[in-house]
Structure 1
Amino acid sequence: QECIAGNIIVRQRGTTHHPGDNVGMGKDHTLFALIDGKVEFKKKANKRSFVSIVN
């Protein structure tokens, strides 16, 4: 899904999803976009879920 810089991507309690490329994390673990682009969810080998923004 498309998003613009500053948009909230995920509101969460704890780090269910971790910030990836071009994603920031607030003090309440909210993930937000740092640049305009498409949201991408990925699971790594250690089973952590990462959220990134790609152009």
Structure 2
Amino acid sequence: MAHKKGVGSSKNGRDSKGKRLGIKLFGNNLTKPGNIIVRQRGNKYYSGINTYISKDFTIHSKIYGYIKYKKIKKKTYIYVIPII
């Protein structure tokens, strides 16, 4: 008796890897210059004081300091407060 694979079984089995998006450092965490704070697709979070946004919308820290999230008119901004 001949054995044959089920129809379509060779077309299945492929899936993309997770992209590890999301918040990497939360509020009141200490950060160094260049640290990734948030990885995102599009602007879910916005860059505030002492942060910058890269071309893939990742938000980084510019200075040593503590992270603060602030919501202004339905937009969440990320700030880095310098260490005093």
How many correspondences in the alignment?
Answer: 54
> Residue 52 of structure 2: SS of its match in structure 1?
strand
Displacement of 1:41 in angstroms is: 0.4
Matches within 5 A, 1:1-55: 1-44=29-72, 46-55=73-82
Structure with bigger gyration radius? 2
TM-score by length of 1: 0.95
Who is 2:16 aligned against? Answer: none
**One-letter code of the match for 1:21?**
I
Who is 2:18 aligned against? Answer: none
Displacement of 1:33 in angstroms is: 0.2
TM-score by length of 2: 0.63
Stretches of structure 1 that go unaligned for 5 or more consecutive residues are: none
Quote the Cα distance in structure 1 between the aligned partners of 2:49 and 2:62.
9
Stretches of structure 2 that go unaligned for 5 or more consecutive residues are: 1-28
Q: Equivalent pairs: percent with the same residue? A: 35
Structure with the bigger RCO (C-alpha within 8 Å, sep 6+) is 1
Alpha carbon RMSD of aligned pairs, Å?
0.4
Higher fraction of strand? 1
